Every structure is written in C-alpha cells, then in structure tokens.
Amino acid sequence: MAKQIEVSDLDAYYGSHKAIEGITMTIEPRSVTAFIGPSGCGKSTFLRTLNRMHEVIPGAHVDGKILLEDQDLYGPDIDPVSVRRTVGMVFQRPNPFPTMSIFDNVAAGLRLNGRISKSEAEGIVETSLKDANLWNEVKDRLNKPGAGLSGGQQQRLCIARAIAVSPAVLLMDEPCSALDPISTLAIEDLIAKLKNDYTIVIVTHNMQQAARVSDRTAFFNLAGQGQPGKLVEMDETSKIFTNPTQKATEDYITGRFG
C-alpha cells in the first residue's frame, strides 16, 4: 500500500563531506515525484537516504528525520533491512541475477522474506510480471536466465522483482538511462500504471521525462563545487516547468546551466 514520506531537515554525509543539507519535503502517496538538478547536487544521495541505502557506504551517515507515514525510518528500533523491503529500489542499469531464471529473479526477494509454498510463489511471480507489463513476453520461458532478456525487459524484470515483495514505495534512480527510446517509453507507461498503487520517486536527467511522468517535481542545486546540495523548490510538475518561483529553477529547466 502506498505511503506518504515526510522528510525534515535532512543532511547526508560521506565521512566529513556534507553532500546534502537541510532537505525538508513531503512525498505524496499514489503519485510520481521527480528529482531533477545538475550533476553532483545530491539527487541520488537523497534518494538512497529514503531506504537507508546511503549508510551502506563506509563512513556515510544522515542527520534529520524521515517518516514513512508514522514510522520513523531512522528510529532506534528500526531494522534497515526491513526498511529496504518496504521502500524498494530500481537502479540505473538493470541488474537481474544473471544466471538465475526469470522466475527465480522475481521470487528472489520473496524467499528472503521467509518460506512460501510453490503455488504461492507462482501466483506472486505471475502477478508481479503482469504488473510490470512483462508477463506476455516471458510467460513461455520463465525458466530461462534473466540475462537473456533485452535491456528494457531486464529493467521491467527488476521492477517485477521489486514489486513482488509488496513495497509501499518504489525509488528509481535514472531507470531509463541505459535504455533505448522504445524501452524508455515502456518503462514510463509502467510508471504511470504503478503510481496507482505505490509512492514513486524517480531521479532523472531527462527533463522531458520528468515532465511526462511526474506529478510533482523537486529541483535541487548546489552553490558551488564542494558545497552541499539543497532543495531549491518543489511543486506541481506543470508549475515547475511553466512558472517556477526561483530563478535558478528557471535557468536550469530552460537549459541555461547543468
């Protein structure tokens, strides 16, 4: 079930380097939120703080608060592994387990969650592949390796794997940057469908893509090299792209920098 994310005054560090500073925002459920901004402004770093992947890097840590509905993601009793299950992630390059079958790729997360029966697994794999708009292309070769699929199909397989464990949120870090235009449109169509059930956050360098797929857009910027990235403004996507409040946003979306 989709959940709201409430971020308050969040800083993220790599060792002593502060990569992002003072981020406060609300991410709405059942909608797509896009993060845009120039290279190095901290979009991916911020995305990874939302499912506690940031701290996996040695020396990395976070200050501030993130609530998923009423659950404090950085609270003392919270298991980061269970956070990553509730807040799923899809990466830039499709990363199916290459030697595993298509079926096992989708079932992989389910099995980590505990023992389930074969028929239960079959049901969830089929539903997840259908939801990821991939079922018709793979239903006759579920036992073939995931690596045998095209790049776009592999990315949809990774999305099926992510949704198989019923997350509340799906984080996508430039999910189309390694894909051709047709596969990109297939993923964008899929995002539009999935937003009915999930909270979706997407980092993208492609502003047309942000305009096409997202309901709300957050623009991040940094004052200079070595400075932390900050949220400049966040609003309805149509407003950000037609009538932003901040000059830096306007300069960025009109291609004056970045």
Ligand X SMILES: Nc1ncnc2c1ncn2[C@@H]1O[C@H](COP(=O)(O)OP(=O)(O)OP(=O)(O)O)[C@@H](O)[C@H]1O
Tell me which of 1, 9, 24, 57 binds ligand X, using CB under 6 A: 57
Size of the site for ligand X (CB under 6 A): 12
Q: Which is nearer to ligand X, 91 or 135 (CB)?
A: 91
In our burial notation (b when 16+ CB lie closer than 10 A, e otherwise), range 46-70 reads bbbbbbbbbbeeeebebebebbbee
- What is the spatial distance between Cα 124 and Cα 130, in angstroms, rounded to a whole number? 10
CA within 13 Å, CB half, 216? 16
Contact code string over 15-44 relative to ligand X, x by CB under 6 A: ----x-----------------x-xxxxxx
- What is the spatial distance between Cα 109 and Cα 164, in angstroms, rounded to a whole number? 7
Q: Tell me how far, at minimum, the Cβ of 45 lies from ligand X, in Å.
A: 3
Helices (H), 165-254: 181-194, 207-213, 237-242, 247-253
Tell me which of 4, 6, 14, 127 binds ligand X, using CB under 6 A: 14
- What is the spatial distance between Cα 214 and Cα 237, in angstroms, rounded to a whole number? 6
Contact code string over 68-87 relative to ligand X, x by CB under 6 A: --------------------
Contact code string over 197-236 relative to ligand X, x by CB under 6 A: --------------------------------x-------
Q: Which residues bind ligand X (CB under 6 A)?
A: 14, 19, 37, 39-45, 57, 229
